Amino acid sequence: KESGYEAWLRYRPCESEELLGHYRKYFNRVWFRQGLEIMRTAMQELSHGAGIITRCTVRLCDEGWQGAGIAIGLIDDFSELKDLLGNEILGTLPEDGYLMRSIEHEGLPRLVLAARSANGMLYAVFHLLRLMKSVQRLDRLNIAEHPRNALRMINQWDNMDGSIERGYAGRSIFYRDDEFVSDWSRIRDYARLLASVGINAISLNNVNVHERETLLITDELLPKVAQTASIFSAYGLRTYLSINFASPRQIGGLPTADPLDEGVRAWWKERADAIYRHIPDFGGFLVKADSEFRPGPYTYGRNHADGANMLADALEPHGGLVIWRCFVYDCLQDWRDRKPDRARAAYDHYTPLDGRFRENVLLQIKNGPMDFQVREPVSPLFGGLSKTNQMLELQITQEYTGQQKHLCYLPSQWKEIVDFDTFALGEGTSVAQIVSGKAFGRRHGGVAAVSNIGDDQNWTGHLLAQANLYGYGRLSWNMEIGEEEIAWEWTCLTFGKKEKVTDTICCMLLDSWSIYESYTAPLGVGWMVQPNHHYGPSVDGYEYSKWGTYHFADCHGIGVNRTLLTGTGYSAQYPSPQFERYESLQDCPDELLLFFHHVPYTHRLQSGKTVIQHIYDTHYEGAERAEGLVERWKTLEDDIDEGRYRQVLDRLQEQAEHAKEWRDVINTYFLRKSGIQDIHKRPIY
Ligand code: GCW
Is residue 124 over pLDDT 80?
Answer: yes
Residue nearest to atom 12 of ligand 1 (CA): 371
Rounded to an integer, the average pLDDT of 26-46 is 90
Q: How far is the CA of 395 from the centre of ligand 1 (A)?
A: 10
Is 400 a pocket residue for ligand 1 (Cβ < 6 Å)? no
- Average of per-residue pLDDT across 532-540: 97
Looking at 179-246, list the stretches that DSSP marks H as alpha helix, in order from N- to C-terminal side. Answer: 185-196, 211-214, 222-233
Ligand 1: residue whose CA is nearest its atom 13:
327
> What is the pTM for the complete model shown?
0.98
Query: Is ligand 1 within 6 A of the CB of residue 639?
Result: no
Q: Residue 414 region, left (φ>0) first, then alpha (ψ -120 to 50), else beta?
A: alpha
Q: What pLDDT does 101 receive?
A: 93
- 83 or 560: whose pLDDT is higher? 560
Instruction: Say what the pLDDT of residue 381 is.
Output: 98
Q: What is the pLDDT of residues 362-377, one digit of tens each?
A: 999 999 999 999 999 9
Do residues 607 and 598 lie in contact, with contact meaning Cβ atoms separated by under 8 Å? no
State yes or no: pLDDT of 111 exceeds 90: yes
342: Cβ below 6 Å to ligand 1? Answer: no
pLDDT confidence band for 654 (50 / 70 / 90): very high
Residue nearest to atom 11 of ligand 1 (CA): 208
One-letter identity of residue 146: H
Which among 331, 287, 283, 282 has a CA at the least distance from the CA of 305?
287
The per-residue pLDDT for 531 is 96
Mutate to test the pocket of ligand 1, among 327, 365, 366, 372 (most ligand atoms within 8 A of CB): 327
Tell me: the pLDDT tens digits for 147-169?
999 999 999 999 999 999 999 99
Q: Are strands 151-155 and 445-450 parallel, antiparallel or unpaired?
A: parallel
How far, in Å, CA of 569 to CA of 562, rounded?
5
Residue of 427, 355, 663 lying closest to 537 (CA atoms): 663
- The CA-to-CA distance between both ends of the chain, in Å, stands at 42
Q: Judge if the beta carbon of residue 207 lies within 6 A of ligand 1.
A: yes
Residue 85: per-residue pLDDT: 74
Active site residue 399: yes
Q: Are strands 389-395 and 361-366 parallel, antiparallel or unpaired?
A: parallel
Q: Say whether pLDDT at 44 is over 80.
A: yes
Q: 292, 503, 587, 631: which one is catalytic?
A: 292
| Ligand 1 center to 267 CA (angstroms) | 28
Quick: pLDDT tens for 407-422: 999 999 999 999 999 9
- Compute, in angstroms, the gap from residue 576 CA to the centroid of ligand 1: 31
pLDDT of residue 198: 98
- 371 catalytic? Reply is yes
Q: Lowest-pLDDT range, 106-120, 166-180, 412-426, 663-677?
A: 106-120
292 is catalytic: yes
Best residue among 156, 213, 325, 371 to mutate for probing ligand 1, ranked by most atoms within 8 Å of CB = 371
Mean pLDDT, range 30-47, rounded to an integer: 90
DSSP 28-58: T-EEE---SHHHHHHHHHHHHHHHHHHTS--
Q: What is the pLDDT of residues 54-88, one digit of tens each?
A: 999 998 888 777 788 999 988 887 777 777 777 76
- Residue 142: predicted pLDDT: 94
The ipTM value here is 0.99
Q: How far is the CA of 473 from the centre of ligand 1 (A)?
A: 22
Report d(CA 517, CA 497) in Å as an integer: 30
Can you give the pLDDT at residue 151?
98
| Active-site choice (399, 483, 489, 678) | 399
Catalytic residue among 158, 258, 371, 376: 371
Q: Which pLDDT belongs to residue 326?
A: 97
Q: Give the pLDDT confidence score for residue 604 in this predicted structure.
A: 98
Q: Which atom of ligand 1 is nearest to the CA of 372?
A: 1
Q: What is the mean pLDDT of residues 237-250?
A: 98
Label the pairing between strands 321-325 and 361-366. parallel
- pLDDT band of 113, cuts 50, 70, 90: very high
Q: How far is CA 48 from CA 16, 60, 191, 236, 498, in A?
A: 19, 12, 16, 18, 24
Distance CA(422)–CA(434), nearest Å, equals 9
Angle between helices 118-133 and 37-54 (to 10 degrees): 10
Picking from 182, 191, 307, 164, the residue whose alpha carbon sits closest to that of residue 243 is 307
CB of 525 sitting under 6 A from ligand 1: no
| 594 pLDDT more than 90 | yes
**Summary mean pLDDT of the chain:** 96
pLDDT (tens digit, 9 = 90+) per residue, 166-192?
Answer: 999 999 999 999 999 998 999 999 999
CA Rg value for the chain: 26
Judged by DSSP in three states, 74 sits in strand
The residue nearest atom 7 of ligand 1, judged by CA position, is 327
pLDDT tens figures, 426-480: 999 999 999 999 999 999 999 999 999 999 999 999 999 999 999 999 999 999 9
User: For 639-657, what is the mean pLDDT?
Assistant: 98
Long-range contacts of 276-280 (CB under 8 A, 24+ apart): 276/318, 276/320, 278/222, 278/223, 278/225, 278/226, 279/222, 279/225, 279/226, 279/229, 279/239
Decide if 195 contacts 236 (C-beta within 8 A): yes
Residues forming a β-bridge with 558: 599
| Distance separating alpha carbons of residues 536 and 544, to the nearest angstrom | 18
What does the pLDDT read at residue 433?
Answer: 98
Inter-CA distances, 355 with 120, 307, 388, 541, Å: 32, 14, 5, 39
For residue 157, report the distance from its CA to the centre of ligand 1, in Å.
9
